[in-house]
Structures are given as structure tokens and as C-alpha cells.
Amino acid sequence: MRRLREADMRKRVLLDTGIFIHAEFAEPTVKNVRVGWGGRESVLEVHGLKSKKPGQDADYQEQKEALFTVGRLIREGEIEAYTSIEIDFERFRGTVAIQEFNALRGCQIHKCVPALDRSRFRKTANFTGFIAKGGKKDQRAGLAGGEETQIAFLEWLCALGQPCWNALVEHVAPIGLSPFEIESLGTLSWFQLLCKRSGSAENYPDVFHLWTAEKHGFDALLTLEKKLPRLITRVQAEKAIQIQINTAVLRPLELLAAMGISEPDRVPIDRDRFYNLYEG
């Protein structure tokens, strides 16, 4: 496991979409309560919350539960957490988060610009298509969209050769690219190499998030998935092609270990307990 840089005690970390989704530990439920009134008995539906059923993968569940410790460290200022507009678009595809028993509740999440702003290259009024991933799942559901989707844009970036790159640099003003984005274009081959090694366009968004974190000099990209960390380990072990990857790709327990924390906080929601919304 890569250690985080020690220069600053506060760690700057980009949170991927899965972190936001799985930080939510409660789900709505209804409990039937029998009530006696005027000599008659009635059944009332009481709305509340219950703990989500834990997954069968014990390691994955432990990683998710460690998010409560990550959330505390963000609130205490030990971790400076970030999201980006591309990650926010991915979150739009899900449901509205429940804040009760949310591991990130009360956390300040900063915004950072992505390595490249897709809207500068893909102008469209089709917001549904723009926030769509455009992967196999969308295609099966008939929601693939067109070139405005996330994967279509990233595939286009992967296909850019030197002549196209030169043309982009020559037209930075009309495109509206920022100095940060121009600098990102200078490391496009870094992104292209990792995408090529990832084996599937389905993995390109994760590589793009790492590219964003790398360009901002973040200490880590926090993820619950195993694919991206394995990819980085494999690429760094290659002898033929060497690229510098300064941002660590860590799962929650790995992040805590890198910060010297071996015992995660207790999960504050009990399984098999009904939480009445009206009891405060």
C-alpha cells in the first residue's frame, strides 16, 4: 500500500461516486403499530428508518462501515474532501440521499474542476444524455445517448492523436480552455495509457477521476472498488512503460491505515432496529 505524502498533516482526497452512494446506511421502512382507542383496536402505519441489509462480501461491508471514520476525519479537518462536476453527474443517476445515519453528514465537500470540462467539447440540450454514462447498462436499457455521454467523450479523448491534439492547442481560445485544462492536455497520453491498460471503456470514468486528482496534486482518490487499485499496481509494475502516478488510489480502510488509524469508529446504526422519524 502506498503511503500518503507527509508534507501536510491534512490530506486532500477526491471521493469517487461510490463513496457518496454507500455512505448512506439507512433506508425507509414502515412499522405497523396496534393502537387501542375507545374500546377499539386499530393498526397505524408508522414511518421510519432501518439499517440497510449488509452485503455478503464481508470485506466490502467493512470498507463501507469505515466511511463513518472517514466522515469524522473530514469534519475534524484531518481530511480535505473533494468532488468534481463529473462525479456529481454520476451521482445524479442515483436517488436522493437519506441524511440520517449518512457517514458524510455534516462534511464539507469542496468542488474541484475536472481535468477537462466535458461541456466545452460537447454542447447539448439533452441533459439526460449528458449525465448518462453511456455504457453497456445504458445501452441495454435504451438510454445510451450519443456523443454527449460520459464514456463517448472519454473514448474520443483516448482516440486523439498528435495532429488532433495540436489542433486543440491552436484553438484553446475559441474552445474556452482554462490554463489548467491546457496543462491537462499536455498529459493526455498519461490518461490514454491508463485507459488502454484498463481493458474496457466501462473503466474510463474511474481513470478520468484519477487524472483529475493527479492534476490537482491530491494525496488520494478514495474508492470502494478494487479494479482501479489493481490497475495502478499492475501499471506501476510494468518495466516496458513507466509513468509517474503520485496520487494514491485507496479504499477506506487503506486510507485510515495510511493515516495511522487501525480501529475504525463504531457504526452508529443498529441492525434490526426501527428508528421512528417522529421521535427526533
**Does the pLDDT at position 2 exceed 70?**
no
CA distance 223 to 214: 15
Q: Alpha-carbon torsion 209, 214, 217, 219, what sign? A: positive
**Does the pLDDT at position 61 exceed 60?**
yes
Q: Which of 57-66, 142-151, 184-193, 236-245 is predicted least confidently?
A: 142-151
Q: Alpha-carbon torsion 14, 213, 161, 201, what sign? A: negative
User: Across residues 140-169, what is the average pLDDT?
Assistant: 81
The residue type of 82 is Y
Per-residue pLDDT band at 33 (split at 50, 70, 90): confident
Share of residues in the chain with pLDDT > 70 (%): 90
Report pLDDT for 7: 46
Residue whose C-alpha is closest to residue 168's, from 149, 192, 155, 184 = 184
Return the higher-pLDDT residue of 27 and 130: 27
Share of residues in the chain with pLDDT > 90 (%): 60
User: Across residues 51-80, what is the average pLDDT?
Assistant: 95
CA distance 219 to 13: 6
Report pLDDT for 280: 52
Per-residue pLDDT band at 144 (split at 50, 70, 90): low
Strands (E) in the chain, as ranges, are 11-15, 26-37, 40-51, 79-84, 109-112, 220-222, 248-250, 275-276
Domain ranges of the chain: 11-31+47-268
Report pLDDT for 1: 44
The mean of the pLDDT values for the chain is 88
* Strand ranges across the sheet with 79-84: 109-112, 79-84, 11-15, 220-222, 248-250
pLDDT in tens, 93-123: 766 677 889 999 999 999 999 999 999 888 8
Per-residue pLDDT band at 157 (split at 50, 70, 90): very high
User: Across residues 193-211, what is the average pLDDT?
Assistant: 95
Report pLDDT for 170: 81
Report pLDDT for 139: 66
**Does the pLDDT at position 279 exceed 70?**
no
Taking residue 105's Cβ as centre, other Cβ atoms within 10 Å add up to 15
Q: What is the pTM of this model?
A: 0.89
Q: Which residues pair with 24 in a beta bridge?
A: 102
CA distance 112 to 213: 9
49: its cell numbers: 428508518
